[in-house]
Structures are given as C-alpha cells and as structure tokens.
Amino acid sequence: MSISESPFGCCLLGPLFSLGSALLFPSYWFLDRILSSVICTSVERAQGPGQRIACLLLGLPFFLLLFLVSLPLAVVGLLIWAPLHQVRRPFCYQKNSSSVSTHPHHENGGSFTFVSANLCLLPDGLARFSNLGHTQRRTALISHLLSVSQKSSSQSNDHGSEDAASICSTDDVLAMVETMGREDNTEFQGYVSLNFPHDVDFICLQEVFDARASRKLRHALASSFPHILYDVGPSGPYKCGFKFFNSGLFLASRYPPIAAKYHYYHNSRGEDALAAKGLLCVQVLVRVTEDKQRIVGYFNCTHLHAPEKDANVRCQQMSLLLQWVSEFQSEQRETGDIIAFDILCGDLNFDNCSLDNFVEQNHELFGVYKDPCREGPGRDRPGTVGTLLRQEFIYHEVLKTPENLKRTLLSDRDRRLYIAPPLPQDVEHDEQQWTGRRIDYILYRNSPLMLPLVVERFQFITGLAGLSDHIPISLKLSVSLPVNTSL
C-alpha cells in the first residue's frame, strides 16, 4: 500500500486548483508587501528612521494601489480555489524516485535520526511580528544548510565531536565515546552542535506556511529525501470558519510512507484559529523480514496552541493527540507487524520549567512518550537548554552566527540573557537549574510491544542562527532490528 501523490481524486482538479492559487497570488503578495512596509525588524530600526519613512510614504501607497487593482483577479481565483478545498486531501505527497536514499544498514540493528525545527516561514509581513524578515531569503539559506548537511555523509565523525559539547545525560541510554574530556560521564551525551547530523532520516518542520518557501524546501531536500509530505491541513473555507493558513507542518523522509492521516484541532482560538493546526500521523515502511513481516515506524508531527495562558486548550489537544495516534495505529496495524519506533515531535508551546505550564507538565502524554531531556515534571536534566530565543535579540552579535549562538547556549550567564525565560517572569525560578523555555520536543515511545531501542544521541543545533527564533533539535535512536531483513 502506498500514498497517491495527487491530493485530488480526479486528475483535472489539480491544475484547476493551481490556476485558482495563481490568480490569488498577486493580491496575496501585494498585501504582504503592505505589511512589510509598516512593520520593521530590529535591524531596520537600528538603521534609523529614514528608510522606514521612505517605505511608508512611497511603498505603502504603491502596493495598496496594486492590491486594489489585483482584487478582481483574486475574487475569480477565490471562487475556483475555495470550493476545491472541500474535496482535497489535507496533505500533498512528493515522491522522487531518483533520490539518493541511504539507510543505516547493520546486520543486527539499525539507527534512526530525527530532526525537528520551527522555521517561522510565514509571509514576510507576518514573520516580522517575530522580528524575522525576508522569508524567501531565509528559506533559501535554510534549504541550503539542510541539503548540504545531508550531502556530506562521507564525514567519518558521526557524532560531530569537533563542534559539539556535552550538555545533558540520561539513565537508559548507550555510553558514548566522545565525552569532551569528562571521563566520569559514560552515559548518553547530548550536544550543542553547529551543524545538522549528516545521517538524518526524518525532518519535521513547523510553520512552513508560505507556499514559495515550501517549494524551495522540497526542491532542496528532494535529492536526499525521496518522500515529502507538505501543504498539510485545510485552508480556505473550513466548516463554519475560514483558515488563512494550513497547519504549517512539513515532513521529509528517507523511508516510504505507507499511510498518513491528518487531524485538525477544533478547539483553537484567538490568532491560532487563523491556521489549521493539528496532528499528522504517518506510518513508514522500514524493512521486510524473510517471513514477509513488515517492520514499520510511526512518526507523528504536531504544533500545539500558542497563547501562553491557554493551558487547558493545550491539554485538550494533547488528549486528542493520544486518542488519534492510538486510533491511527490500530487502523493501520497488520498481523505480524513489527514496530521499530514511535516518535512524536514538534512545537508543543510549553516548557518543563515554567510554573505557568504546571498542568501541561503533568499531562498523561509523558506517561506514554518519553522525553530524553526531562527528569520529571517541572525539572529537566542538568545541562538541558531552552529552544526559544528572545525575539528582540535574534540579530544580536551573540546570537546571529552558529558559533556565537553555541557559545551563548553553553554559558549559564548568557543563556539567562538571550533565551526566553520561564513563565511567569516576575517569579523566582530554580537558579541551579535554569534552562530557559524548551518548547520544541522529540519524544519517543519505549514499549514491550516494540523492538528494543536506546537513545544514542540528542542535539541542540545552532546552524540556523539568525534564521529562526527556535533552536532545532535532533534525536538518534539505536534499534535492534531482526537479522536478514530487506528494504
């Protein structure tokens, strides 16, 4: 069983949908330019008021006029585009059979590396609210960094010891060779790394809302990742409302997906109700045994409700998430299936150190999935760092290059200045274990019904410094696969 590439059941609907999108694009772009003329980043503010005034006096009226002129085209495009969403599958699938897909083959086992990153690839005008401008330029750089990291698989140092530093430990994992001179630490090592791992099998991205950004990412990653799920979630008229954006989820995989399903969080509210945030469940085929048993993996991507005070909304979404994952796996499970891994990742929009996130920290989710950097509710393992940067400092000298950001993360003093602090900010927190807000997660399930696994490596990656307000993370699992299996 495989997933069809077209999101439509009829081959004629795809071109028609593209035509509607093309007619909408001019108005979309001019409106984006209007917002970009009004909202500036910290870099632009530092350049003085002259450029900003010129943009307001010249750019704003010009793009407003063009927007009004383009509206008739947009109305026609909307009449074509909107109804097609009612019959469109809530995700697209790109398959590239010419990709060079290399898998870690081991006679008695295998390893799987997962990456999760929130890229804030909104239209340029909206990205500026997070102090991030030039979405297309950032996308080009991010795409290059991701693709180059996967084309450098000839590097012999699998753990990146030259640019990695030990930051945390856990109890149920393999010993590592590189201990950065600390012989007493023989357990699992997490790292602050300059670069992405070169052996990534799955990339889960959040906030890839812009269609042009998605296209650039797909083009750059296609040579290394033959299977990409994108444009996930509905947009346009949906039930009784209108979704201006889809979920923003984007999944690139070296392994073929054999089933996928998307669920929309119906309880979103406020600004989050403008996007169709939800959960993407994917089943991938890892290998097949000599007895024709499938070895499968489950990969679940999500982006939870953002407003900080809405803890109950996030908890409801996590409960729905667990229900949907269970239902999906029950539906797709075949007799004799062997489960290699079950991963949940994404931006959960709460951390494990804020008093305001007490309810989320104690949710049953953490009884089902394990967090390699979590010691318990409200306490992370020593050395764990936050993944949310203070937006006003994104272009500051200490954060805008991978090397400087790495030094900042490894400095207790600098982390307190540049990583988003726990909430509420007017309450004293544990000074001995100040991690900052770690809201990006890669969780894994370890069950007797699955193949034995251990956590081999966890990384906080600084390679996207100056390109996002989040720090990407990576998890590598070592799984004991059966002998004599084939792809």
Per-residue confidence (pLDDT) for residue 168, from 0 to 100: 40
DSSP bridge pairs for 301? 280, 345
Residues of the chain under the 70 pLDDT cut: 1, 99-109, 152-190, 426-433, 484-487
What's the pLDDT tens digit per position in 98-124?
Answer: 765 555 444 445 899 999 999 999 999
Per-residue confidence (pLDDT) for residue 238, from 0 to 100: 79
Per-residue confidence (pLDDT) for residue 39, from 0 to 100: 92
d(CA 252, CA 263): 19
Per-residue confidence (pLDDT) for residue 101, from 0 to 100: 52
d(CA 339, CA 325): 14
**The domain made up of 92-486 is a member of CATH 3.60.10.10:** yes
Neighbours of 163 (CB within 10 A): 16
As a dihedral over the C-alpha atoms of residue 471, residue 475, residue 476, residue 480, rounded to 10 degrees, the angle is: -170
Residues whose CB falls within 8 Å of the CB of residue 98, separated by 6 or more in sequence, listed in order: 223
**Can 470 be counted among the known catalytic residues?**
yes
What's the pLDDT tens digit per position in 42-98?
Answer: 998 888 888 778 888 888 999 999 999 999 999 999 999 999 988 999 999 999 877
Among 263, 303, 363, 470, the active-site one is 470
Domain ranges of the chain: 13-84, 92-486
Parallel, antiparallel, or unpaired: how do β-strands 294-303 and 338-347 relate? parallel
What is the pTM assigned to this prediction? 0.89
